[in-house]
Chain A
Amino acid sequence: MDSSTRERRIAEHKKRVNLIFKKCVWDDFLDRALEMSPEDMLEKVKESGLRGRGGAGFPTWLKWKFAREAEADEKYVICNADEGEPGTFKDRAILQEQAGKVLPGMLVCAKVIGAEKGFIYLRGEYAYLLPALSQEVENFNEKIREKGERFSIEIKLGSGAYVCGEETALIESLEGNRGEPRNKPPFPVSEGYLGKPTVVHNVETLVYASIIISEGPECFKSLGTSDSAGAKVFCISGDTDLDEGIYELEMGMTIKEFVELFSDGDIKAVQVGGASGHCVPRKKFADTIIGFEGVPTGGSMVLFNSSRSMYNVLHNYLEFFEEESCGQCTPCRIGCQQLLKGIEAVKSGEKPSEYLDDLVKLAGMMKISAKCGLGQSAANPFISIVEHFREEIMY
């Protein structure tokens, strides 16, 4: 299939959605939103079934409710644009093309929780977005000030650590500290930036929040499944012939449907959710749903065809983790190094293949005892790849 045929097929696919990248006029929306009471907004977001698009999928309305109920003189909204997950590149596109929908999403959240200050934490490597985005933010601040709102947004640039996408590390970094995750609880909704209630959202979540407020929850709720309502922006990479792999699709597709849409069939595995996600082998494509009831993803979908060595794939991910771990906690700092050294030793024959079982156990232990999501999820690719491609790791 040539790529234009494929593009057409995707465009016409029944699961294809066009909410996020649709052109619209945001002035009208702002007026509409500002007429609405915070209670109404919260209710609408609740009704929509929106869950966080940053990976963990926490119900958005609940986060807002907690922050709203927290008593404090100051509260904050943070847009997490750190986008560090390997294979994820949608937030960049959204900020580039639809910043006009991200900022109102922050305003809506701020109105609901009672915040007057918002930050966009922009990945350091996206500094080139800064001129346009700053202009956009400036205009927005001006516009809402004219409408009598006290809320304003500021952009802060990260400096290139993957872990700073983790919300508490992000907050530390915003405060000017080394980006090390904090203990949770307390969660940011009760003690976040400067110790004040803070809601951190992925860029995409904020856009959907805008859309839900402006067009009503039905447009979102009618899509997807009961656990995974709505749509999602996917980033497709790996063994596919697409030029640019950013597609908004309904939640709840099976991987089989997905792979058929985006490739020519010779796909042996899909890494769902980036380096910290799960590797799904072909034999599970048909009964694995992409969504919170199956395998969740922050957007990254990497396709591997039969020419790929899963040892190399895993090695790559582990190198990423042993470098990107903040290094403060034992299971993650040392665990990641051990997983990497371990598969190397098994491959070279220094360790017997049974050592893989010890390593799987170690990964299981990392999952339950690491301090933050990074160390907990570094185990995901390891466990799934070793389970399904053990021979490739051994020989």
Chain B
Amino acid sequence: MSEKITLKINNIDVTVSAGATVLDAARKLKIKIPTLCNHPDICVAGNCRVCVVEQKDSGALPAACATPAAEGMEIHTNTRRVREARKAVISLLLSEHNNDCLRCYKNGNCELQELATEYTVEADRYISILKDYGVDKSSPSIQKDDSKCVRCQRCVRTCANLQDVSALWISGKGRKNKISTFMDKTIDYVVCTNCGQCVNRCPTGALTEKNYIEEVWGAIDDPSKHVVVQTAPAVRVALGEVLGCETGSRVTGKMVTVLKRLGFDRVFDTNFTADLTIIEEGHELLRRLSEKLRDGKDVPLPQFTSCSPGWIKYAEHVFPEILDYLSTCKSPQQMFGALAKTYYAEKAGIDPADMVVVSVMPCTAKKFEAARPEMNSSGFRDVDCVITTRELGHMIKQSGIDFNNLEESLCDSLLGAHTGAAVIFGATGGVMEAALRTAYEVVTGRAVPFENLNIIPVRGMNGVREASVKIEGCLSKWKFLEGAELKLAIAHGLVNARKLAKQVAEGRSPYHFIEIMACPGGCLGGGGQPIPTNMDIRMKRMDAIYSEDESLEFRKSHDNPEVIRIYEDFLKEPLGKRSHKLLHTRYTERGRYRTLNR
């Protein structure tokens, strides 16, 4: 039991645990204190000073977010001094700001705007000191506009605390203080993974996704183009949030309907290629295991998952020595693109040159991934346009469709069927669970020995998780695995990924298979997901993902009828020649401090 502290806020007693801040205590009483630099996922900064409050017997106004609650403290949150100080802080911020709300991408979902509205601030109370900044559009994923920055450093703390990347940092003192990068280079030049976690936490329009909404409309409007769309598993449990649904709503069927109404020619599902990834990646793992355990060859193990492009770029920069340990499987998004432009194009009799593949992703790193030059194995770029959950939300709003009253529908066939195993790709541990459901069955002919296929030990929100599965009753082909204990590890958030990657780099990793997701919580907490995202919200999305899994008829990737069909009709066998050409990829060393070959 931790120590309890009782204090008074606005003359009301409140008791909190030691370590709680004045802000925590106020929230417990449902007293709102405005905040800006504070974000529950990252460490406290106490730098914006919007949250100042009055403390009895103190001349100064402490920042509620950065002040530990103390026994007997008396706090007032709504005095004249407090209101005036907050108003002055907000006015100061506006004097430094490019107050261009009407043309701003964050208009309507901006914490600075909200504060200015709440405190009825006049923009011209102080002299404008806005400096002349260019917008950094160098990255295909994220965009940085310093003229909209309030220097809250949320991005800096995100990139350092959650991702351990520190691509963004503060440079300059005083009036020259700004958010910068290594040597003030453009984002594409530095060690940025494009994960978009900074974007998700930026309270203003300073960091945003590079948006491709107009490109997608353009493709839809172009009658000569056949536009197919895929949606990632984590999108369907979060999209509702931007359209007025409760957090954690599953809107899969409505999402499919709305995509059809928006004018996409075919609505498919990244889940289809998630199932396919499991087959390919599972067989790759089994092959590595056979070569090592049966043939005694020196093959790279553990095998890392490769479906998180933020993680891939991170590894290419920071851990070039372990690139051979990454599964060669493309991410489901890229597999989808490659198959749409070959398998589907062939079946539907469409010239792939006229096809546009759009994907809707919870992720900004997928934009960069799609733009990788090697991602063109069909002779055409696998994926043409990547938009985030948020961008899709904008498109739906622009279309005027009443999303919440839409009927539900199913994806088009061929690249649309999916299992519960694919759905759980959206949560940390999901790829591991899906792979186990299949690999165990391949090896033993029996389902994984977990009740209702729910492999609970790999689930949850701990940053690094471990599990092991004992393999018993192997089929004859896999006898060498009999009795083996498969050691597994899962990490989400690059700060955690680093721990597991470091073990491998140093040759002391005890594992066989490691799942890494660059974003906290996995894709459901991706950089392209609705803002805000925080632990509460991630938990709700996670619950939605697991309930979606349980609601489906098929829950093992190898049971997906369209996956079975594509192997029969097109790919022939896992890791076969066609797979190798279309579904697998290679990685590039990028340099620890900057991009080597841009």
Contacts and interface: CB of A to CB of B under 8 A. Distances in A.
Interface of A: 161, 163, 178, 180, 183, 185-186, 321-331, 333-338, 341-342, 345, 351, 358, 361-362, 365, 367-371, 376
Contacts of A321: 174
B446 interface: no
Contact of B95 (A180, A183, A329, A338): A338
Given A161-B173, A330-B50, A371-B63, 6 more contacts: A185-B68, A324-B173, A327-B173, A334-B95, A334-B126, A365-B88
Contacts of B59: 368
A368 B173 contact: no
A168 to B, nearest CB: 11
13 contacts: A183-B63, A328-B45, A328-B151, A330-B150, A331-B49, A333-B151, A334-B92, A338-B127, A341-B126, A365-B88, A368-B85, A369-B60, A371-B46
B66 interface: yes
Interface string B155-183: 00000000000000110111111000000
A171 to B, nearest CB: 16
A178 B170 contact: yes
Contacts of A365: 84-85, 88-89
A335 B90 CA distance: 11
Contacts of B127: 338, 341-342, 345, 351
A89 B52 CA distance: 36
B184 to A, nearest CB: 15
A369 B85 contact: yes
Contacts of A367: 60
A365 B60 CA distance: 9
- Top 3 nearest A-B pairs by Cβ distance? A327-B177, A334-B92, A183-B66
A329 B49 CA distance: 7
Contacts of A323: 173-176
Contacts of B92: 330-331, 334-335, 338, 362
A371 B129 contact: no
A370 B59 CA distance: 12
A180 B171 CA distance: 11
Contacts of A368: 52, 59-61, 81, 85
B63 A328 contact: no
B83 to A, nearest CB: 11
Nearest to B88: A365
A263 to B, nearest CB: 33
A369 B89 contact: yes
Contacts of B60: 367-369, 376
Interface string B579-598: 00000000000000000000
A322 B175 contact: yes
A278 B496 CA distance: 50
A346 to B, nearest CB: 11
Interface string B261-298: 00000000000000000000000000000000000000
Nearest to A367: B60
Contacts of B176: 323, 327
Contacts of B89: 330-331, 365, 369
B81 to A, nearest CB: 7
Contacts of A178: 169-170
Interface in B46-90: 46-50, 52, 59-61, 63, 66-68, 81, 84-85, 88-89
A329 B47 contact: yes
B75 to A, nearest CB: 15
Contact of A325 (B44, B66, B96, B174): B174
B174 A333 contact: yes
A327 B174 contact: yes
| Contact residues of A: prevailing secondary structure | helix
Contacts of B169: 178
B55 to A, nearest CB: 11
Contact of B93 (A325, A326, A334, A336): A334
A322 B177 CA distance: 10
Contact of A369 (B49, B67, B150, B173): B49
B208 interface: no
B334 interface: no
Among A163, A321, A324, A369, max chain B CB count under 10 A is at A369
Nearest to B177: A327
B197 interface: no
A172 to B, nearest CB: 12
B252 interface: no
A371 B47 CA distance: 7
B47 A328 contact: yes
A91 B171 CA distance: 29
Contact of A330 (B44, B49, B125, B173): B49
A329 B85 CA distance: 13
Contacts of A330: 47-50, 89, 92-93, 150-151
B153 interface: yes
Contacts of B129: 334, 337-338, 341
Contacts of B45: 328
A349 to B, nearest CB: 14
Contact of A329 (B48, B88, B173): B48
A338 B127 CA distance: 7
Interface in B109-156: 125-127, 129, 150-151, 153
A179 to B, nearest CB: 9
Contacts of B66: 183
B402 to A, nearest CB: 41
B174 A369 contact: no
A83 to B, nearest CB: 18
A369 B52 contact: yes
B84 to A, nearest CB: 7
Contacts of B170: 178, 180, 327-328
Nearest to B54: A368
Among B59, B89, B127, max chain A CB count under 10 A is at B127
B10 to A, nearest CB: 19
B204 to A, nearest CB: 13
B533 to A, nearest CB: 25
Contacts of A351: 127
A337 B84 CA distance: 19
A369 B92 CA distance: 13
A298 B176 CA distance: 28
B96 A328 contact: no
Contacts of A327: 151, 170, 172-177
B21 to A, nearest CB: 10
Nearest to B66: A183
Among B125, B175, B176, max chain A CB count under 10 A is at B175
Contacts of A336: 174-175
A334 B84 contact: no
A325 B96 CA distance: 15
A336 B174 CA distance: 8
Contacts of A326: 173-174, 177
A245 to B, nearest CB: 28
Interface in B238-272: none
Interface string B324-338: 000000000000000
Nearest to A185: B68
Nearest to B36: A330
Given A330-B89, A341-B129, A324 B174 contact: yes
Contacts of B44: 183
Contacts of A185: 67-68
Contacts of B61: 368-369
A359 B93 CA distance: 15
A329 B177 CA distance: 10
B174 A370 contact: no
Nearest to B171: A178
Nearest to A327: B177
A362 B125 CA distance: 11
Among A323, A328, A338, max chain B CB count under 10 A is at A328
Nearest to A351: B127
Contacts of A333: 96, 151, 174-175, 177
B498 to A, nearest CB: 19
Nearest to A374: B174
